[in-house]
Chains A and B, each alone.
Chain A
Amino acid sequence: MSKQINVALIGNPNTGKTSVFNALTGLNQKVGNYPGITVEKKEGICKLPRGVKAHIIDLPGTYSLNASSLDENVVIELLLNKNDKDFPDIAVVVSDVENLKRNLLLFTQIKDLEIPTLLVINMSDRMNYKGISLNIDYLEEHLQTKIALISTRKNEGIGRLKDLIANFKDLPITPCLNASEIDQDYFDNLRKAFPNQLLYKLWLVITQDVNFGKTDRKEIDAVANFKTKSKGDLKRLQQKETIKRYQFINNVLKKGQTIDVSQAKDLRTKLDRILTHKVWGYAIFFVILLTLFQAIYDWSSVPMDFIDNVFASLSEWAKDMLPNGAFTNLLAEGIIPGLGGIVIFIPQIAFLFLFIAILEESGYMSRVVFLMDRVMRRFGLSGKSVVPLISGTACAIPAVMATRNIESWKERLITILVTPFTTCSARLPVYLIIISLVIPEGRFLGLGYQALTLMLLYLIGFGVAVISAYILNKILKIKSKTFFVVEMPNYKLPLFKNVALTVIEKTKSFIFGAGKIILAISIILWFLASYGPGEQFHNAENIVKAEYITQNLTEEDLQQKIASHKLEYSFIGITGRAIEPVIRPLGYDWKIGIAIISSFAAREVFVGTLATIYSVGSDDEETIKNRMAGEVNLVLGGPLFTFASGISLLLFYAFAMQCMSTLAIVKRETNSWKWPLLQLVIMTVFAYIVALLAFQFLK
Chain B
Amino acid sequence: MNAIIQNILVFSALSLAIVFLVKKFFWKKKSSKKVCGSDDNCACH
| A and B co-occur in one complex | yes
Q: How far is the CB of A275 from chain B (nearest CB, A)?
A: 33
Q: Which residues of A contact B41 (CB under 8 A)?
A: 671
Interface residues as binary, B13-32 with A (CB distance below 8 Å gives 1, 0 otherwise): 11011101100110000011
Which one of A209-217, A236-244, A354-362 is at the interface? Answer: A209-217
Q: Complex formed: what's the CA distance from A324 to B17 in Å?
A: 22
Contact A325 B6, beta carbon cutoff 8 Å: yes
Residue of A nearest to B22 (CB): A520
Q: Complex formed: what's the CA distance from A524 to B16 in Å?
A: 10
Q: Which residues of A contact B6 (CB under 8 A)?
A: 323, 325-328
Q: Complex formed: what's the CA distance from A301 to B20 in Å?
A: 33
Contact A323 B25, beta carbon cutoff 8 Å: no
The answer, yes or no, to whether A519 is at the interface (CB within 8 Å) is yes
The answer, yes or no, to whether A575 is at the interface (CB within 8 Å) is no
Quick one: which of B14, B37, B44 contacts A527, CB cutoff 8 A? B14
Number of residues in B with C-beta < 8 Å to the partner? 30
Q: Complex formed: what's the CA distance from A70 to B36 in Å?
A: 7
Q: Complex formed: what's the CA distance from A323 to B35 in Å?
A: 53
Interface residues as binary, A662-682 with B (CB distance below 8 Å gives 1, 0 otherwise): 000000111110000000000
Contact B35 A36, beta carbon cutoff 8 Å: yes
B2, B33, B34, B35 interface centre (most CB from chain A within 10 Å): B35
Q: Which residues of A contact B37 (CB under 8 A)?
A: 70, 73, 209-211
Q: Which residues of A contact B25 (CB under 8 A)?
A: 601, 660
Known: A214-B38, A323-B2, A409-B43. A517 touches B24 (CB 8 A): yes
Q: Complex formed: what's the CA distance from A519 to B32 in Å?
A: 30
Q: Which residues of A contact B5 (CB under 8 A)?
A: 325, 327
Quick one: which of A209, A521, A669 contacts B17, CB cutoff 8 A? A521
Q: Complex formed: what's the CA distance from A214 to B34 in Å?
A: 11
Provide a sorted-by-A list of 7 A–B residue pairs whose CB atoms are within 8 angstroms. Answer: A210-B38, A324-B2, A327-B10, A330-B13, A404-B43, A523-B17, A670-B42
Q: Complex formed: what's the CA distance from A519 to B16 in Å?
A: 11
Top 10 A-B pairs, shortest CB-CB distance = A325-B6, A520-B17, A327-B6, A523-B17, A327-B9, A37-B35, A326-B10, A326-B6, A409-B45, A671-B44
Q: How far is the CB of B17 from chain A (nearest CB, A)?
A: 4
Q: Which residues of B contact A213 (CB under 8 A)?
A: 38
Residue of A nearest to B38 (CB): A209
Residue of A nearest to B32 (CB): A36
Quick one: which of B3, B14, B20, B42 contacts A671, CB cutoff 8 A? B42
Known: A409-B45, A520-B20, A520-B21. A527 touches B36 (CB 8 A): no
Q: Which of A517-544 contact B (CB under 8 A)?
A: 517, 519-521, 523-524, 527
Q: Complex formed: what's the CA distance from A73 to B3 in Å?
A: 58
Q: Which residues of B contact A32 (CB under 8 A)?
A: none
Residue of A nearest to B6 (CB): A325
The answer, yes or no, to whether A446 is at the interface (CB within 8 Å) is no
Contact B21 A670, beta carbon cutoff 8 Å: no
The answer, yes or no, to whether A111 is at the interface (CB within 8 Å) is no
The answer, yes or no, to whether A146 is at the interface (CB within 8 Å) is no
Q: How far is the CB of B24 from chain A (nearest CB, A)?
A: 7
Q: Which residues of A contact B34 (CB under 8 A)?
A: 36, 211
Q: Which residues of A contact B10 (CB under 8 A)?
A: 326-327, 330, 527
